[in-house]
Amino acid sequence: MSNEQNNPLLQYIFNNPEEFARNLTKIAEQGGKALAAYLEPREKGQVRDETPEELGLAVKTLAEVGEYWMKDPARAIEAQTRLWAGYMQIWNNTLKRMAGEPSQPAISPSPRDKRFKDTEWDENQFFDFVKQMYLQTTEWAEHLVDGATDLDDHTRHKAAFYVRQITNAMSPSNFILTNPELLRETMSCNGENLVRGMELLTEDIKAGNGEVKLRQSDPTSFEIGKNVANTPGKVIAENDVCQLIQYEPVTEQVFKRPLLVVPPWINKYYILDLNEEKSFIKWMVEQGHTVFVISWVNPDERQAKKSFEHYMKEGIFMALDTIKKTTQQDSVNAVGYCVGGTLLAVTLAYLAHKGEAERIASATFLTTQVDFTYAGDLKVFVDEDQIKVLEDRMNKQGYLDGSKMATAFNMLRSNDLIWPYVINNYIRGKEPFPFDLLYWNSDATRMPAANHSFYLRNCYLTNNLAKGELEIDGVKVDLKDVSVPVYNLATREDHIAPAKSVLKGSHCFGGPVEYVLAGSGHIAGVVNPPAKNKYQYWTNKGLMEDINAWLYSADEHPGSWWPHWQQWIQAQDDTLVKARKPGARRTKILEDAPGSYVKVRA
């Protein structure tokens, strides 16, 4: 057997050891700068470390899992035996392989797992051994959580989430010495990649004021109003909660009934206006709609007391009043996306209670939850202890920093949205590629303290909206009072508003509901222009309780759901009138779209 076979790491050698030594010095120097960038805002009192509170809650949860297994000696021994049996099988198979005997892996990664695609993970005995040991340990840890039957569902859900974060972070693909691809790259360039990576890390810590602001895209490649959020329009109203944009018509005639879009205030509205090819807003204008969009303020301490009620009255109601003034129409078609859709649903129920349901003639919900029973992994962040920590933090500054929400969303898919960029940026030393969607994703927004607390408590924690017990402006609202036609879009791979959750919410409304399921996830499933001919969508004449039963009897259609929605919305009222331009009926034009609010960065 050759020396290379005995020691598979011998194939990884430096091209120039002296150059590597020089680069080590540069890495140490740059590491000092990164440390200084981390410490400086803390020494000046600009940053307060909040990690111990969050870490304490995670440790407490995982300790409950450990306690379940350790309080029964037989159970503990059984768990340890299972782990060591897996390890021994991997070791025996590795010895057979080293001896030249045929051997099948004891455990293999999922075909969808992108971390182990390099051929060396299978062909090189060392890396194959490391990979299998990691996968075996991960499977064992997940089993410990699943098998802790004494724990309540929420605690077990949290524990599974924390275990997944730990195992994702500890993957051998994240480290140079245990990742063949990274090791080859580091050796071939004598560590120059690590010098560049440390420089990028320093820049990102400075940009995050002492926290790592992970780059997912090249921020210099995009400018709001230039190559994103550039559909022509005008800002025609504003207050300290939002601006209202009216878009320029491109058809000679438009539908008589205007269309109001209520986007989420978690991130910014221009996810629906990324560029000319992907813009849902531009497409709706081209179909003949008079489109109005709310652009929410990026709040600071001045909006600390702004609650759901303020967002309803100063957001949706202000928009409805302005639209009525400039179009002379008493009702609109409304589109709500994510939490914007939840606010829209609350507004519909409130209007119905007040006897003003005609102000919104139809409602379209895009990946929106109104029943939070099956709200997915975001529920791991919501319980009384965690909300209290969050409220204490928000009350000190009046808002939740946008980076906190961004981190939470990224953690839901850490193997897609965190670790690939850590590897690319800080180990490979490469700038991320320009990608408009990820640029938008990193353009975080803050959350007003009162609004966010109300949302977490009444929706995620108590599910009051679905129960008909949510109170706003002194009124208990009931979604059963909402009788307008509803188009309810879910996406099949959504990790924020799961399709199962959206389907359950469909049963909360009192009128006709068209539930549609699109391919892909929370963003790509919605932002799916017909010209791309990507993904698919499903429709079903029945509105069932079970998502699998619904999908089994559903009809599948190729491509985008947008044309299907256009047929639905046109069926509500297809009356045409002369196109309306912004500024009609003495409506004051404040500035060009996309306006100033969307340009404020957190």
- Residues with a catalytic annotation lie at 338
Rounded to 10 degrees, the C-alpha dihedral 442/447/453/459 comes to: -50
Question: CA-CA distance, 205 to 411, in Å (whole number)?
Answer: 19
Residue whose entry in the numeric block shows the structure tokens 């009051």 = 464
Question: CA-CA distance, 208 to 424, in Å (whole number)?
Answer: 19
470-472 and 447-448 as β-strands: parallel, antiparallel, unpaired? unpaired
* CA 355 vs CA 71, 88, 446, 483: distances in Å: 59, 71, 34, 12
Q: How many CB atoms lie within 10 A of CB 112?
A: 5
332-337 and 259-262 as β-strands: parallel, antiparallel, unpaired? parallel
Residue 534 has, within 13 A of its CA and on its CB side, a CA count of 11
Q: How many CB atoms lie within 10 A of CB 560?
A: 25
Instruction: Report phi then psi at 516, rounded to 5.
Output: -125, 135
Question: CA-CA distance, 128 to 116, in Å (whole number)?
Answer: 10
Question: CA-CA distance, 163 to 180, in Å (whole number)?
Answer: 25
Nearest to 91 by CA among 101, 105, 79: 105
Question: CA-CA distance, 292 to 290, in Å (whole number)?
Answer: 7
**Please, what sign has the CA dihedral across residues 525, 527, 531, 537?**
positive
Bridge partners, residue 430, by sequence:
none
Structure token digits, residue 76: 């503990």
Residue 508 has, within 13 A of its CA and on its CB side, a CA count of 27
Helices within 328-435 (DSSP H only): 339-354, 384-397, 402-412, 414-417, 419-422
Residues with Cβ within 8 Å of residue 178, at least 6 apart in sequence: 127, 130, 172
Question: CA-CA distance, 294 to 315, in Å (whole number)?
Answer: 7
Bridge partners, residue 487, by sequence:
364, 514
Intra-chain end-to-end CA distance of the chain, in Å: 59
Instruction: Report phi then psi at 473, rounded to 5.
Output: 55, 40
Three-state DSSP class for 365? strand
